Amino acid sequence: MDRRDLFFRFLFGGSAVVLSYVTAKLLPWKVIGGIFAAFPAVMVVAVMMVGMKKGSKDAAKTAQGSVYGMIGGFICVLTVLFSLQLTQNWWGSFISGLITWFASSLFLVYMRDHKKENRASNIKLEH
């Protein structure tokens, strides 16, 4: 794997997240600033980079994976929220949020692929 390419991606991804933070903080309109604080910068950069290198089909696949990742992110935020309310343990809540993000995203991708395989084998059996 080309290290220069990865370094460029690191710079671009990091800059996109920082830019959304700077925009959120510096804009004089609080509402617009607050909206930019939640900008999905990593997804936008990742889809854009796949699109530039491999085209729209793979960009759509990355976006599809990111739907599962975003649902995982939603579950992560809920876990952190409820864990903080129940335990008041900051690090425990932070780590359990990370674990639930990854586990739930993987589970969703696995379930989706498993469902597709089942559907394909059912169609084969019918024929």
Partner 1 sequence: MESLSISGIVIRFLLGGSAVVASTIISRKLGSKMGGIFAAFPAVFLAALLTLRLDAKGSELVEKSIVLSQGAVVGMFINIMCAIGAVYFCTKQGWKRGLTQSIAGWFLISIIFAVISGYF
72-111 binders of partner 1 (CB under 8 A)? 72-74, 76-78, 80-81, 84-85, 88, 90, 93-94, 97-98, 101-102, 105-106, 109
* Least distance in angstroms from the C-beta of 115 to partner 1: 14
- Does 10 sit near partner 1 (CB under 8 A)? yes
Size of residue set near partner 1 by CB under 8 A: 77
With H, G, I as helix, E, B as strand and everything else as coil, classify residue 29. Answer: coil
Q: In Å, how far from its chain's centre is CA 108? A: 13
Residue 23 binds partner 1 (CB under 8 A):
no
Nearer to partner 1, 28 or 125 (CB): 28
Element (H, E) at 89: none
Please give the residues from 27 up to 46 whose contact with partner 1 meets the rule CB under 8 A. Answer: 27-28, 30-31, 34-35, 37-46
Axis-axis angle for helices 41-54, 56-87 (nearest 10): 160
User: Please, is 126 exposed, middle or buried when counting C-beta atoms within 10 Å of its C-beta (0-12, 13-18, 19+)?
Assistant: exposed
